[in-house]
Amino acid sequence: MVNNVTVLLKKMSDGDSAAPEELLPLVYDELRKLAASYLRKERSDHTLQPTALVHEAYIRLVDWENSDWKNRAHFFAVAAQSMRNILVDHARRKKTAIHGGNLQKLALDEAIGFSQSNEVDLVDLDDALGELEKLDDRQSKIVELRFFGGLTIEETAHALNVSPMTVSRDWNFAKAWLYRRLSH
């Protein structure tokens, strides 16, 4: 199946208009799990549902002009980034809503080294990742791929074309940096 995904991504990159329709059944379950994972970290009354998040992200992914999909890991890395952007955009709209817009809270679980009870505003997290990106783009990408994308150390290393040891080291540094930044 992994090879089929890569083949279809290559077809998409080459402009095959049928490829997105063939690709969806192969990636849908994994994208749905990723979306459900994100939304489990959100407040219980969140208005976005996993299916809607998957569909919006998928539309953004297949509508890319001149996309050059390298492989399955690259696709899911970009999907993670797309879902993050959708959730942050949604949080920003809620934050600025006329009705007082409750801020969306994202529980940074032990995957990033915070306790379950420590919730962080999703917009604040996005801002912090923007700051981290200015300091170290690779570390920011690692957080995005690991936390938002759910990729393993090895998958992240493959997506970024670095060693797993480098990913592990940068992941630990980025978690510590984010903890300090978001604790204030």
Instruction: Tell whether the model's pLDDT for residue 99 goes beyond 50.
Output: no
Nearest to 140 by CA among 104, 165, 161, 171: 171
pLDDT in tens, 120-157: 577 888 889 899 999 999 999 898 888 777 778 988 88
Instruction: Tell whether the model's pLDDT for residue 58 goes beyond 60.
Output: yes
Could you tell me which residue, 15 or 112, shows the higher pLDDT? 15
Contact 126, 161 (CB under 8 A): no
Structural domain of 139: 2-183
Highest mean pLDDT (candidates 56-70, 72-86, 102-116, 168-182): 168-182
Nearest to 112 by CA among 37, 164, 47, 46: 37
pTM for the model: 0.62
Instruction: Tell whether the model's pLDDT for residue 43 goes beyond 60.
Output: yes
pLDDT on residue 134: 94
pLDDT on residue 171: 94
pLDDT on residue 115: 36
Structurally, how many domains does the chain consist of? 1
Sequence letter at residue 103: L
Instruction: Tell whether the model's pLDDT for residue 48 goes beyond 60.
Output: yes
